[in-house]
Every structure is written in structure tokens, then in C-alpha cells.
Amino acid sequence: MKETIHSYEDLLRMLDHLLKQESDFDWDQFYSDRARKIPFFKNYPDENLVEYIETKKINTGKVLELGCGPGRNAIYLARNDFNVDAVDQSTEGLEWARERAKEQNVQVDFIQSNIFDFAIAEGTYDLVYDSGCFHHIPPHRRMSYIELVKRALKPGGFFALTCFVLGGELGGAAISDWEVYRGRSMRGGLGFTDEKLKEIFHDFKAVEIRKMKDMGPESSEFGTSALLAALFKKETME
């Protein structure tokens, strides 16, 4: 690999290489043992997503899920009459997701791709959903992430995500963006506050930001107060 920077993409690749430990994380291995006691391995949707749908904060339409993993939220959305595109780079995660969708007789277009390589026509989606992908996005890729979401959404469309609470029990490194590069590590995923999410996504209207509700083992929804749930809206053009 040539170590000369000629373009913005060269710069991004260089910074990716500085964080090689995170970029080399084996998601296929992570999803390969389906019996592991990981709460979000259960085929239950996020409680905040269920609330958005049941209270009509979000109406049916076309959805893009970023980092869908084994498909639990994509399948829930498809069951509720959404047209769903779900993207993930893990072969194992998507194989599991397709099996689940087939078992429940729902149609989801599962797509294997790095989210930054996925071609999106402008203004395609009514909703972009991200459950646990954003906190693994390094700071130098954040601008590309925001532009991806803005490009994907129709005017008036919604963007929703769940991410680590700052210093939470599941993760959420309490470090600055600069410290990521000083230490060459995101320490398993960055943590966020209400204020930081509003600052990062200032181009969107913040509809609601709260901690997820803790959902017990008897619940058919996933929720933990170690994660923030945020709902934003892309403003319509004047």
C-alpha cells in the first residue's frame, strides 16, 4: 500500500489504518455462535422502534437499516408493512437474518456491504434506522455517515438510532475524538450524551432523545438503559 495522500479518500484510509484493531474486528466470528448469551441476539425489536410505530410517530414507508446484524429490527419493520433494505457487512449475520425472515415469511432485502460502499439514490427512504452501528463509526468517518443519512432520506423523513451512553455498563468510552487517535483505539465503541448527539446531528431536527427502557427477560422487546435512543427528522425544503 502506497503511503502517499493524494485525496480525501487517501486520508480516510490512512486514519482507518491507525484504528486497525477496530476495523479488523471479526463480526462473522461474533455472530457464528448463536447460542451466546447476548441480549440482542434474541429476535426481538428495539423497544423505542416499537414505540415509534405503535404511537404513529413514524408511518409506514421505505426503510434503510444500517448494520442490521441478524435482522431483528428489519424483520419487525417488514411485519409492520414497511419496505425494508437492510445492510450489513457480516456474512454470518446476514445468513442468520435471512433464515429468520424466511421462518416468519416476511420479505426483507438483505444486502452485504460496508455502509460507505452502498450506493444510495438521493431521497429514497422515509426512515433510516441504526441500532448499534453509529458508536462503532470512527470520528473521521462521521461526516461521511451524516452525508449518507442525509442523502438517503426524503425531505421530512426520519433518522433513528440507538448508541452507547457515555460510560455505560455495556460500553461507551468517555474519550474525546482526538483521544481516539492519540491512543489509536475507540476502546470498543464511543459513548454519547443527548447534547453531543444534538451537536453531531445539528442538520436534523431532534424529535426525541432518551435512554432506552430496561426490558425484562419476559418482554418481547429489547431495551437497556445503557443505550440512548434518538429520533431525528430531516427538515423539508423551504
The DSSP annotation for 29-85 comes to: HHHH-TTS--GGGSS--BHHHHHHHHTTSS-S-EEEEES-TT-HHHHHHHHTT-EEE
Parse the chain into domains and list their residue ranges.
8-34+41-233
Q: If you ran DSSP here, which 8-state letter would residue 222 be given?
A: B
Q: What is the pLDDT of residues 58-112, one digit of tens each?
A: 999 999 999 999 999 999 999 999 999 999 999 999 999 999 999 999 999 999 9
Q: What is the pLDDT of residues 150-189, one digit of tens each?
A: 999 999 999 999 999 999 999 999 999 999 999 999 999 9
CA angle 176–180–182, rounded 5-degree value: 105
The per-residue pLDDT for 3 is 85
Q: What is the pLDDT of residues 189-226, one digit of tens each?
A: 999 999 999 999 999 999 999 999 999 989 999 999 99
Q: Which pLDDT band, with edges at 50, 70 and 90, does 238 fall under?
A: very low
Q: Which pLDDT band, with edges at 50, 70 and 90, does 22 fall under?
A: low
Indicate the CATH number for domain 8-34+41-233: 3.40.50.150
The per-residue pLDDT for 1 is 57
Q: Which of 49, 82, 95 is nearest to 220 (CA)?
A: 49
With 0-12 / 13-18 / 19 or more C-beta atoms within 10 angstroms meaning exposed / middle / buried, residue 16 is middle
User: What distance in Å separates the CA atoms of residue 54 and residue 169, rounded to the nearest whole number?
Assistant: 29
Q: Is the pLDDT of residue 230 over 80?
A: yes
The per-residue pLDDT for 20 is 73
